[in-house]
Amino acid sequence: MTELIRRLLRTPQGAVGAAILVLLLVICLFGALIAPEDPEKMNVLARFRAPDLNNWLGSDQFGRDTLSRLLVGARGTVPLALAATLLGTLSGAVIGTASAYLGGRADEAIMRSIDAVMAIPGLLLTLLVSSTLGKGSLNAMLAIAVAFAPGMARVTRSVALTVRRQDYVNAAIARGEGSAWIVLREMLPNVAAPVVIETTIRVAFAVMLFATLSFLGLGAQPPASEWGLMVSEARRFLHQAPWMIVAPGVAIALTAIGFNLLGDGLRDALNPRDER
């Protein structure tokens, strides 16, 4: 594990990505303590204040401090988006690998079902799931996971099909290993590279999907300072107070970049063959 981290930090992308994510982690853990003001404290006199020394990132339509809202909102945004992505990609990866391993009719059945699920647009599916399960952040997370799994299953299957033909899988079958062992221990580690990269790209999507759900009233509920919710609220005041939308937008973008860079670094670090 320490070896992996050392290799990760040796790549420039990995180091920058890790730095951004450590910063995010600190904000998620201690955001409420660092925040200069109460994120829900309204101030009628300080509405739409441009960034200055009092409000570093300006204030919103109720005079709430944007920086404080960002710092506190991180906890409601990043961990949930990450959990949704991990849940979705991991289950998708297992389904895809298992499908490639089984082959034949089982593969056909699994992939056609996946096609059927994918025929429903992602947002619609998320809406369907979260309205069935009810409002709330946790259900929104499950909904996003369900929407992510099919795409991930396809990507993983295509890689797993190549792995399936490798002799180490044949060797495992010949010595009578169980299917679970072959899928999880022999094949899955070897399809990790595309899964990791997909996962890191999808974290950014997950943040945006959360925002959409919150905007439609199915995810986080006001006055929560979830970043996506902040973007959708600020949309109305785009011309009046652009900082309101820029601040959470940049935060979401930085999160996405951080995860993507980490993904690039991980891809190199996870590959034991890569000795450059």
Window contacting other proteins (CB under 8 A); options: 55-63, 206-214, 220-228, 267-275: 267-275
Window contacting other proteins (CB under 8 A); options: 70-78, 187-195, 203-211, 237-245: 187-195
**b/e sequence 186-220, b meaning 16+ C-beta within 10 Å:** bbbeebbbbbbbbbbebbbbbbebbbbbbbeebbb
Window contacting other proteins (CB under 8 A); options: 13-21, 137-145, 172-180, 246-254: 172-180
Window contacting other proteins (CB under 8 A); options: 83-91, 94-102, 170-178, 242-250: 170-178
Interface with other proteins, residue 172, by CB under 8 A: yes
Nearer to other proteins, 30 or 168 (CB): 168
Choosing from 4, 23, 171, 250, the residue that interacts with other proteins (CB under 8 A) is 171
Interface with other proteins, residue 112, by CB under 8 A: no
Nearer to other proteins, 149 or 163 (CB): 163
Nearer to other proteins, 175 or 239 (CB): 175
Choosing from 121, 189, 217, 222, the residue that interacts with other proteins (CB under 8 A) is 189
Q: From 260, 199, 270, 248, select the one nearest 17 (Cα to Cα).
A: 260
Interface with other proteins, residue 36, by CB under 8 A: no
Nearer to other proteins, 26 or 171 (CB): 171
Nearer to other proteins, 99 or 214 (CB): 99
Window contacting other proteins (CB under 8 A); options: 50-58, 148-156, 163-171, 207-215: 163-171
Interface with other proteins, residue 173, by CB under 8 A: yes
Choosing from 158, 166, 179, 221, the residue that interacts with other proteins (CB under 8 A) is 166
Nearer to other proteins, 72 or 159 (CB): 159
Say how many residues touch other proteins, by CB under 8 A.
Answer: 20
- Per DSSP, the residues of the chain read -HHHHHHHHHSHHHHHHHHHHHHHHHHHHHHHHH-SS-TT---GGGTTPPS-SSSTT-B-TT--BHHHHHHHHHHHHHHHHHHHHHHHHHHHHHHHHHHHHH-HHHHHHHHHHHHHHHHS-HHHHHHHHHHHH-SSHHHHHHHHHHHHHHHHHHHHHHHHHHHHTSHHHHHHHHTT--HHHIIIIIIGGGGHHHHHHHHHHHHHHHHHHHHHHHHTTSSS-TT---HHHHHHHHGGGTTT-THHHHHHHHHHHHHHHHHHHHHHHHHHHH-TT---
Question: What is the contact surface with other proteins in residues (CB under 8 A)?
Answer: 104, 166-168, 170-177, 186, 189-190, 192, 272-273, 275-276
